[in-house]
Amino acid sequence: MMLTPHFFTQHWPLDNVFFGASFQSYPTRRVVQIHSAQGDFVAKIDQQPPAYVAACQPYAVLDFLAARNFSHVPALLKTREDQPLFYGAGQSIALMTYIDGGPPDNQPATWHALGQIAAQVNAFTDCPVVYTIPTAAVIGELRAQAQSHPQKQQFLDFIDQLAPLLNAPTLGLVHGEINAANVRQRRDGTLVLLDWDAAGTGPVVLEAGYPLLVVFLTEALHLQREQAVAFYRGYYGAYRPSPVEQGLLFRAALLHALRYMAFANQPQRWARICYAVAHRDDLLATVFDYS
């Protein structure tokens, strides 16, 4: 189906629509800017959408947060039929407000603020949407991947370390991928989290663990220490996690690092995982050094 300005005025309460920049363009997914008399928006277009209920889940999370006056998310523009998205003709399309800024800098102050925002997200315990990346399923997928890995036994040993995550305590709303690519900063300085596709209620340790290895420990094996310390100070405040809690956080970080290995740069990401496991205690001591 060809998308035209008329399509958007027909299905959303907009006038004088014309297209702006294209932010993403993949074979099955596009993100484009929409200008209108009512303001600027971003259209998220999925040309191979999941079933309707699954396609609506990320926008149910946005509605949940908007109802609680949470300012760190883009606002969803519902269709003229008061639906979260248009679903039909083999695609789904959702409109959200355009963030009038750009990517934030990679300074400790930014990461401290993101840690605080992550803690605020995780504090919502009543979101009805379930986090879409269940730990048990991820472990099963990793075991399947390990069968063809050159270091099969070592891979399986790493997976065995993830078992305590199956009983991880404390459920809350989890974004799941707080990284620089998923953050924009409004001109007033407000940080906004994008890409809520996987978000939902799950073990909050998956939130805290995510950036440790896939963001702060680079593929060149450089630890962005100041950024990491700032994030976890923002997340935990004055509280210092116990050794047991730090160990569970590292396991969550390891789960994400193993999962992301399949997407790109596999040799470098495998080397990063091996390095992280070998230097686990030093990494945790550095990140949680409150002296």
Give pTM, 2 decimals: 0.95
Residues 54, 196 within the same domain: no
Quick: pLDDT tens for 20-70.
999 888 889 999 999 999 999 999 999 999 999 999 999 999 999 999 999
252 and 113 part of one domain: yes
Are 88 and 120 in the same domain?
no
CA 197 to centroid of chain Cα atoms? 8
Domain match, 159 and 251 both? yes
Q: Supply the pLDDT for residue 4.
A: 95
- Please, is 130 exposed, middle or buried when counting C-beta atoms within 10 Å of its C-beta (0-12, 13-18, 19+)? middle
102 located within any domain: no
Question: Do 92 and 113 share a domain, yes or no?
Answer: no
Average pLDDT over residues 115-128: 98
CA 45 to chain centre: 18
Tell me the per-residue pLDDT of 138-174, one tens digit each, with 9 for 90 and over: 999 999 999 999 999 999 999 999 999 999 988 999 9
Residues 132 and 53 in one domain: no
> Could you please report the per-residue DSSP string of 134-158?
-HHHHHHHHHHHHTTSTTHHHHHHH
Show the domain range for 238: 108-287
Shared-domain flag, residues 205 and 240: yes
Residue entry with tokens 């950036």: 211
Q: Are 12 and 79 in contact (CB under 8 A)?
A: yes
Those residues with Cβ within 8 angstroms of residue 54's Cβ, 6 or more apart along the chain or in another chain: 132
Q: Which two tokens stand for residue 11?
A: 């299905």
Q: Which residue, of 97, 129, 153, is where some domain finishes?
A: 97
* pLDDT in the model for residue 254: 98
Q: What was the pLDDT predicted at 25? A: 87
Residue scoring higher pLDDT (26 or 117): 117
| pLDDT of the residue at 132 | 95
Q: What is the model's pLDDT at position 27?
A: 87
Give the number of domains in the chain: 2
The answer to whether residues 89 and 125 belong to one domain is no
Residues 70-111 pLDDT 10s: 999 999 999 999 999 999 989 999 999 999 889 999 999 999
The reply to whether 190 and 257 lie within a common domain is yes
Residue 103 lies in a domain: no
Percent of the chain with pLDDT over 70: 99
Residues 124 and 220 in one domain: yes
| Residue where a domain stops, chosen among 65, 97, 129 | 97
In the numeric block, which tokens belong to residue 77? 């523009």
| CA 162 vs CA 48, 58, 247: distances in Å | 32, 27, 10
Q: Are residues 158 and 73 in the same domain?
A: no
pLDDT of residue 24: 85
What CATH code is carried by the domain that includes residue 70? 3.30.200.20
pLDDT at position 26 = 87
Cβ proximity of 73 and 58 under 8 Å: no
pLDDT: which is higher, 290 or 184: 184
* Same-domain status, 256 and 185: yes
Cα 92 to Cα 44: distance, rounded to the nearest angstrom? 8
Q: How confident is the model at residue 284, as a pLDDT? A: 98
For 206-262, write each residue's pLDDT tens digit: 999 999 999 999 999 999 999 999 999 999 999 999 999 999 999 999 999 999 999
pLDDT at 120: 98
User: For residue 228, which amino acid is it?
Assistant: A
